[in-house]
Amino acid sequence: MKYVEKAEKCTYNGTIGEQGKPIDMQKSSEWKCPKDYPDYKITWARFLYYRDWLNDCPSCTDGVMLTDVRDAFFQRDPFLTAVERNQVHPLMVFEESPETNTEHWLTDWPVSACRTHKLGKNPMLCSGSVMGSREGILDYIDVMEEEFKYWMERENCRIDNRGDDQSIHNYLYYTNRFKNAVSIPHRQGPIHVVGYQAARIFENATKEAENAGVGISEIFIHDNNWKEWLPRKYGLINTNTGLIVNEDGTPSAQVHQVDRFGPLISKWENEMKKQGWPYNKDKDKESIGSSA
């Protein structure tokens, strides 16, 4: 376990806020900088820490995953999944739902403002989910750092947006700055970024629960069948286990941005924890129920 200390003084300054004035990073509750890299906001500095931790582990020569952890869980071994799907590449980036793309403000606005470049309508790639070889990941981080420095040096790039590491991630991929990078289609690889679709489902469920006068956590659960915590029409779960699945019906190895489901997933998660996650076994070759 690695811990990151907060900097006494954050020297990443100059970010322009909503009213066109620079944000005082020392007083801001939104922005934090780490002690080791006070010139970097934490959402950027994490990539430098990834490199430090890898370099501190010369024996770590197998596959590497860079991932958020607060809003993710594993249902299978993602590295084994990559091998089984013939998706082992030096650098793997992962597409989000086809319902969103790089015309979204998260990527379009920062990249347009900083690089005067339009990404156009391409699949949105998640910067919180990256896999590859040791060498591929280290190369990836070097390119990200190079671009961070470009953005730090220019006022028009110092944007009040905690998610602009994703803006940079997409810009670098779609301008061919990453070496040997392969984009893995949504729900077809070892990482399933469920966030955009989960958020839409949660929004609709909230309205349904309000109209029905029931609690949202059980709006979709009937007769205490917690395994079927989402309606079959979404095609996102195995209804015999509740596991979130890829397009082919096999369990998604890692599921990212699960918090976007809100309380909808709570009962299933609680029951799985009580039972020791009984379905998180390598049974992809077996038929374990319908995902319809």
What is the reported pLDDT for 30?
60
Q: Rounded to whole angstroms, how far apart are CA atoms 47 and 281?
A: 31
Lowest mean pLDDT among 26-40, 58-72, 196-210, 215-229: 26-40
Give 34's strand partners: 6
- Residue by residue, what is the 3-state secondary structure of the chain? CCCCCECCCCCCCCCECCCCCECCCCCCCCCCCECCCCCCCHHHHHHHHHHHHHHCCCCCCCCEEEECCCCEEECCCHHHHHHHCCCCCCEEEEECCCCCECCCHHHHHHHHHHHCCCCCCCECEEEEEEEECHHHHHHHHHHHHHHHHHHHCCHHHCECCCCHHHHHHHHHHHCCCCCCEEEECCCCCCEEECHHHHHHHHHHHHHHHHHHCCCHHHCCCCCCCCCCCCCHHHCCECCCCCCEECCCCCECCEEECHHHHHHHHHHHHHHHHHCCCCCCCCCCCCCCCCCC
Lowest mean pLDDT among 4-13, 34-43, 48-57, 259-268: 4-13
Q: Rounded to whole angstroms, how far apart are CA atoms 248 and 252?
A: 10
Q: Is the pTM of this model over 0.95?
A: no
b or e along 19-53 (b: 16 or more beta carbons within 10 Å of the residue's beta carbon)? eeeebebeeeeebbbbeebbbbbbbbbbbbbbbee
Stretch 76-95: mean pLDDT: 97
Stretch 102-122: mean pLDDT: 95
148 touches 50 (CB < 8 A): no
Stretch 53-77: mean pLDDT: 95
What is the reported pLDDT for 288?
37
Stretch 276-287: mean pLDDT: 65
Residue 23 predicted with pLDDT over 70? no
For residue 245, the number of C-alpha atoms closer than 13 Å in the C-beta half-sphere is 26
Q: Rounded to whole angstroms, how far apart are CA atoms 198 and 120?
A: 24
Other Cβ atoms closer than 10 A to 60? 12
- Cα 60 off chain centre by: 23
Residue 18 predicted with pLDDT over 80? no
What is the reported pLDDT for 286?
40
What is the reported pLDDT for 26?
61
Stretch 169-185: mean pLDDT: 98
Q: Rounded to whole angstroms, how far apart are CA atoms 133 and 90?
A: 5
Place 287 in a pLDDT band, splitting at 50, 70 and 90: very low
